[in-house]
Amino acid sequence: MRYIEEIGRYGLMLLEIFRKPTKWSVMRKLILKEIDELIFNSLGIIIFISFFIGGVVTIQTALNLTSPFLPKSLIGFATRQSVILEFAPTFISIIMVGKVGSYITSSIGSMRVTEQIDALEVMGVNSVNYLIFPKLIAMLFYPFAIAIAMYTGIFGGWMAAMFGNYAPTADFIAGIQEDFVGFHVTYAFIKSLVFAVIIATLPAYHGYYLKGGALEVGKAATVSFIWTSVVIIIVNYVLTQLLLG
């Protein structure tokens, strides 16, 4: 019962994001700030993680392909598929729930407990629009970050193949070009976009409707991380079944 109520309230909040918008001159600045905070400031960690995860995927694949009859290009192929289909869009998104999601929950949550949200409402500002809309728009750039993660992941795989002597460069490159299905990339971008919307709004919900004090802000960030991750994992399953199944 409580969950149904919460889902309803989340839905209403989503509608509220688009009502009575904040004036554009103010909103533009907010959006740019959020792009910087949510996207640019995440690129470092995204690149770092994808590079090494790509490398590990390559090593694992190579170590499991012991039969001499299997071509070495398979290593490149497997790396490309894993990185594009899951590691870049899903794995990175879970990391982003931890980074971006916690930031959103705690920044909005601390504004709630210090009555800054009330202050906005008293002035006649639609606080949901003011606080969440810029984050939502900024997160629409998230698929670009995922594209970077794809490149870096595959690049990391190639480096691992080369330096660990798992596959000759020519074979690896041939592998990543083998049986390329364009729709797989589309699928990954659709997923990333859906995850972006979830990462922008669900942690915001947890912060916005927070009750209590500073202690609750910390707790809310944790609860928000768990729920947002769970939702992403489930949505990932559903989208994969719908789009590829």
Partner 1 sequence: MIQVEHISKAFGEATVLKDISTTFERGKTNLIIGQSGSGKTVFLKSLIGLHETDKGRIAFDGVYLDTLERDEQRELRKAMGMVFQGSALFDSMTVAENVCFPLQMFTSYSSKEKSEQVDRVLERVNLVDAHQKYPSELSGGMKKRVAIARAIVMNPKFLFCDEPNSGLDPKTAILIDDLIQEITREYNITTLINTHDMNSVMQIGEKIVFIKEGKVAWEGSKEEIFVTNNQAISDFVYASDLYQNVRKVYIEKAKSKT
Binding residues (CB under 8 A) for partner 1: these are: 19-20, 22-23, 26, 110-111, 114-116, 118-119, 121-126
CA 153/CA 91 separation, integer angstroms: 12
Nearer to partner 1, 30 or 243 (CB): 30
User: Can you tell me whether residue 165 is helix, strand or coil?
Assistant: coil
Least CB distance from residue 138 to partner 1, whole Å?
A: 16
In angstroms, how far is CA 243 from the centroid of its own chain? 19
Residue 81 CB-density burial (10 A; 0-12 exposed, 13-18 middle, 19+ buried): buried
* Least distance (Å) between residue 176 CB and partner 1: 44
Scan for tokens 């995440």, then name that residue: 42
Q: How far is the CB of 154 from partner 1 (least distance, A)?
A: 38
Minimum Å gap between C-beta 130 and partner 1 is: 9
Report the nearest approach of partner 1 to the CB of residue 114 (Å): 6
For partner 1, the closer CB: 121 or 171? 121
Cα 115 from Cα 208, distance rounded (Å): 11
By CB atoms closer than 10 A (0-12, 13-18, 19+), residue 90 is buried
Residues with Cβ < 8 Å from 8, sequence gap 6 or more?
none
Per DSSP, the chain holds a count of helices (H) and strands (E) of 12, 0
